[in-house]
Amino acid sequence: MLTEQITLLRRAMAGSATLAPDDVLVLRDLEGRPVRPLRAPDGVTPRESAVLLLLYPRNGELWLPLTVRSARLTTHRGEVSLPGGGVDPGDDGPAGTALREAWEELGIEPATVEVLGTLTPFYIPPSNNRLTPVVGLCAVAPVLRPDPNEVEAAFSVPLRTLLDPATIQEEIWERQGMLLRVPFFALEGYKVWGATALLLSELLARIRRAA
């Protein structure tokens, strides 16, 4: 299974793709229309940022680490996320940012990560960030050492679980006075929604197409 998954992952990341609302998990109104803006409004200059979506081998298959954001942070406290942050001037593009942040947040050595490519960048309104998801592959399972200042907890899930349709659920939430359909991945007792669900679902859509 592991060799097949790695081959499929490489094939999925080799081609280009355009982020389409029908392919990904996004907030929708009760009629099913997407309500999340994927681009910044005219006249708004967002901060460039990046996250690392890392896959590594464990028990004969690929796994992916996720983080629970610390309550000490100013935005998205307690939400399930991926290691990442704003692009610094010294970073080597989004990949450099993602690798640096993974080192700072989880202790993942940048030299151990093979960068396979990026997913579609998209806008995050609450933090005014334009986020580039970077996909990487480790040859061996990393030892995760969460930084308590940024990460409340860290856990990993197998790619097989993410690809299982039963993992995706939906609830009706009220947000800013609106009733919305909120899709999420149900993982380890957490509801993984928002930007993290969006980028994970794009990777899974690419993998399914590659298969």
List, for the chain, all residue ranges whose pLDDT scores fall below the cut of 50.
73
- According to the CATH classification, is domain 2-210 in 3.20.20.60? no
Kindly report whether the global pTM for this prediction surpasses the value 0.85. yes
Task: Name which of 122, 134, 130 is nearest 198 in CA terms.
Answer: 122
> What pLDDT score was predicted for residue 94?
96
Beta partners for 186?
A: 191
pLDDT per residue as tens digits for the range 36-77: 888 999 999 999 999 999 999 999 999 999 999 765 545 555
Q: Could you please report the per-residue DSSP string of 15-48?
A: S-----GGGS---B-TTS-B---SSPPTT--PEE
